[in-house]
Structure 1
Amino acid sequence: MPKLVDHAERRDRIIRAAWRIIAERGIDAATMREIAREAGYANGALTHYFADKDSLLRAAYEYVYAATNQRVAVSVHGLTGVEALRAFCREVLPLDDLTVDEARVVLAVWSRMTVDADLLDVHAASMRAWRDDIVRWLGEGRALGRVRSGTADEVLADHLITLLMGAQVLVLSGDVAGPSAQEQLLEEWLGRLGRP
């Protein structure tokens, strides 16, 4: 009887292998051969799922974004306004080993965006979706009287995304942006929302 292959599971295994290599050893170490070895497959097996390294890197980036969004969905469930914003930010900020590894993957993939228009489109769509959520939560905060800032919600959303993306970069420099520093920065930013 022929062996049944779960193609979705195999594709996911390859993506997770790429993610681990990038997080642990950097993007240069993530060759197709090394990813295949890490996933436990022959080098040629990857071409059945990914045309080239760029398509695999896009999938690794999408994997990080999807994993973050799954955590966000759980964390913000039942929350609105500023509380939802805080929960969202705590899932995006690199505050623990997992999210620091995700930051390493994201930063490695960002460097490819200058030459990969498809990857840039994936990133832009991700940031638009987050921005829309942030604007919605800010609006809820205004309706509840918790957001009183005179700055437009769209501008506040851009500020917050900049803070979150900056933390992805700075966390790799060590104590400069460790978890306690990030949490303090977040709380100060959220606290300013209540000031007219």
Structure 2
Amino acid sequence: MPKIVDHDQRRLELVDATWRIIARLGIESATMREIALEAGFANGALKPYFPTKDDLLTFAFGHVFNRTNERIAEVTAGQVGLAALRAFCVEVLPLDEERINEARIVIPFWQKAINDPDKARIHRDSMEQWLAAMRRYLAEARYAGAVTTAVNDAALAGQLLNLLLGAQIAAALAPEGQVELGLNEQLEGFLTLLGC
């Protein structure tokens, strides 16, 4: 009787192996051979799932985005305004090794998106989704009187998104083992300024 293979699980195992290789050795060392070895599969076993490294990186980016969104949905459930905005941002910020490793996947994806319209569209669509959520939370906070700054919500959401994306770069480039970069304090500082 042939072995039943869970293809979705196999893809996730390969993505996790990719993260470990990138975290340890960098994107250039994440060859299909190294990824297969890390995942415990034969080199040819990757081809049916990801014909190229580029396909794997695109899938990994989508997986990072979806996983982040799942965490966001959990922590913002039942919250509105500044509480929801704060919870949203904390889930995006690279505050632990898992999220720093996620940043190490996202950054090479951005590099490829510069010259690849399909990848650029994936990034734009993802960020527009985040901006829409942030604008909604800001509007709720403004309605409740917690946001009083004259700066409009679209500009605030853009500033906050840039803070979050910049934090991913800072964390990915920080010395190995350094996870405390003052990111929570920077977020709290930004949120405090909203009431000025």
* TM-score scaled by length of structure 2: 0.93
Deviation at 1:180, TM superposition (A): 5.6
Instruction: Please say if residues 96 and 179 of structure 2, whose CA atoms lie closer than 8 Å, have aligned partners that are also in contact.
Output: no
Alignment partners' CA distance in 2, 1:150 and 1:116: 38
RMSD: 1.7
- In the alignment, what sits opposite 1:182? 183
Alignment of 1:98-117 (within 5 A): 98-117=98-117
Aligned 8 A contact 2:61 2:105 in 1? yes
Assess, with a 3 A threshold, how the Cα gap between structure 1 residues 121 and 188 changes in structure 2: closer, same or farther.
Answer: same
Q: Secondary structure at the match of 2:47?
A: helix
**AA partner of residue 32 (structure 1):** M
**Matched residue, 1:138:** 138
5+ residue gaps in structure 2?
Answer: none
How many positions carry a matched residue from both structures?
194
Please say if residues 94 and 179 of structure 1, whose CA atoms lie closer than 8 Å, have aligned partners that are also in contact: no
- What is the rounded CA distance, in whole Å, between the counterparts of 2:20 and 2:175 in structure 1? 20
2:18 counterpart residue number: 18
Is 2:31 the partner of 1:31?
A: yes
- Tell whether the 8 Å contact from 1:103 to 1:168 is kept in structure 2 after alignment: yes
Identity %: 46
* Cα offset, 1:157, TM superposition: 0.5
Which runs of 4 or more aligned residues in structure 1 lie more than 3 Å from their structure 2 counterparts after TM superposition? 177-180
Distance 1:174 1:167 in 2: 14
Q: Does residue 7 of structure 1 match 2:34?
A: no
1:178 to partner: Cα distance: 5.5
| Deviation of 1:65 (Å) | 1.1
Once the 2 structures are TM-superposed, how far is the Cα of residue 149 of structure 1 from its aligned partner? 1.4
Distance 2:116 2:31 in 1: 17
